[in-house]
């Protein structure tokens, strides 16, 4: 996340995330699923601007007319929660420019919510302790707290328990976002948790080594098979990525889908893979990076 002051307000670039590992050990007593995931933030951003205005309301405008701009939007929920918890009375006008596709497993809405907490904390000069912001983030949504950390972290619980991990090298990906989306709730509803959950240890070891080839061998997503059973046409994206060796070290669906990514051996390999994929009509394609 990139937060910067601008004339009369604050601007934030809110990144997308990819899940390099996602296991779902079981269902929790509260009805949510327990997860263990290695997540990374990549350089594809929604843009948000925040400016104070008269009154005490929260006004959101968005360039995507399909998205709600009332309390159903996580941006509005985040702003209202911070106002309530801090007692701040000023109103705010928020402009959101979307670049991260919805229903793609890239957590654009969660990232926008985290951006809202960070931006309004600065705009209103609240100086909220990081732990308090993280607690509020966890109340808004499962992936929101991750975006207050990054660029790489292990997320557990519902996703709100975040532990930073070091990123020894930049990671380069080709990202494919098909035109079809998937409901996270639908995917989790059909999931049968494993009797023996897969360990996150090997992929964390591979990340620490800074080896894209080892990291590629450790890519795993428990939700991918379920998502592909709901949307069988996604197999075409999966197979196209799988056929891009030696450019890619491995490929995977992100989160509950429908976006897929391939891990490049380096930046040039990821960009070459994107050029191969673009003419295939699989959806939106671009090369993205985690890290400098």
What gap in Å lies between CA 243 and CA 230, rounded to an integer? 23
Average pLDDT over residues 2-6: 94
Q: Which residues contact 243 (CB under 8 A, 6 or more apart)?
A: none
Same domain, 136 and 70: yes
Average pLDDT over residues 180-196: 93
28: CATH: 3.30.230.10
Q: How many domains does the chain have?
A: 2
Question: What pLDDT score was predicted for residue 30?
Answer: 83
What gap in Å lies between CA 150 and CA 95, rounded to an integer? 24
Same domain, 15 and 77: yes
Same domain, 112 and 137: yes
Average pLDDT over residues 165-187: 95
110 assigned ligand-binding residue: yes
Q: Of these residues, 17, 43, 83, 112, which one is catalytic?
A: 17
Query: 143 an active-site residue?
Result: yes
The per-residue pLDDT for range 213-250, each reduced to its tens digit, is 999 999 999 999 999 999 999 999 999 999 998 889 99
Same domain, 149 and 67: yes
pTM, to two decimals? 0.95
Question: What pLDDT score was predicted for residue 245?
Answer: 81
The per-residue pLDDT for range 255-267, each reduced to its tens digit, is 999 999 999 999 9
103 assigned ligand-binding residue: yes
Question: What pLDDT score was predicted for residue 151?
Answer: 95
- Give the ranges where the chain is alpha helix by DSSP (H): 74-86, 108-123, 130-140, 184-190, 201-209, 212-218, 224-230, 235-242, 267-277
166 assigned ligand-binding residue: no
107 assigned ligand-binding residue: yes
Question: What pLDDT score was predicted for residue 31?
Answer: 78
Q: Of these residues, 30, 143, 245, 266, which one is catalytic?
A: 143
Same domain, 157 and 180: no
At residue 17, does pLDDT exceed 90?
yes
224 assigned ligand-binding residue: no
* Summary mean pLDDT of the chain: 95
Domain that holds residue 283: 171-290
């Amino acid at each position: 996340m990139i937060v910067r002051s601008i004339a009369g307000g604050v601007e934030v670039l809110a990144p997308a995330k990819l899940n390099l590992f996602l296991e779902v050990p079981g269902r929790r007593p509260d009805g949510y699923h327990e997860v263990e995931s290695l997540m990374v933030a990549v350089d594809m951003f929604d843009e948000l601007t925040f400016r104070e205005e008269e009154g005490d309301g929260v006004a959101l405008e968005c360039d995507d007319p399909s998205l709600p701009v009332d309390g159903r939007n996580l941006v509005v929920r985040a702003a209202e929660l911070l106002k309530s918890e801090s007692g701040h009375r000023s109103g705010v006008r928020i402009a959101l420019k979307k670049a991260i596709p919805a229903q793609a497993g890239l957590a654009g809405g969660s990232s926008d919510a985290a951006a809202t907490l960070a931006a309004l904390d600065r705009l209103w000069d609240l100086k909220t302790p990081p732990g308090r912001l993280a607690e509020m983030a966890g109340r808004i949504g499962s992936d929101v707290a991750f975006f207050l950390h990054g660029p790489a972290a292990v997320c557990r619980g519902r996703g709100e328990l975040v532990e930073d991990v070091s990123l020894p090298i930049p990671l380069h990906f080709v990202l494919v976002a098909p035109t079809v989306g998937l409901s996270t709730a639908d995917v989790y509803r059909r999931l049968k948790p494993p009797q023996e959950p897969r360990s996150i240890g090997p992929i964390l070891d591979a990340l620490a080594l800074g080896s894209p080839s080892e990291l590629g061998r450790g890519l795993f997503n428990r939700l991918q098979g379920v998502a592909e059973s709901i949307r069988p046409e996604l197999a075409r994206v999966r197979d196209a990525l799988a056929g891009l060796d030696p450019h890619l070290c491995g490929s995977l669906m992100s989160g509950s889908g429908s976006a897929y990514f391939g891990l490049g051996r380096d930046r040039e390999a990821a960009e070459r893979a994107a050029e191969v994929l673009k003419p295939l009509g699989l959806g939106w394609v671009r090369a993205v990076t985690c890290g400098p």
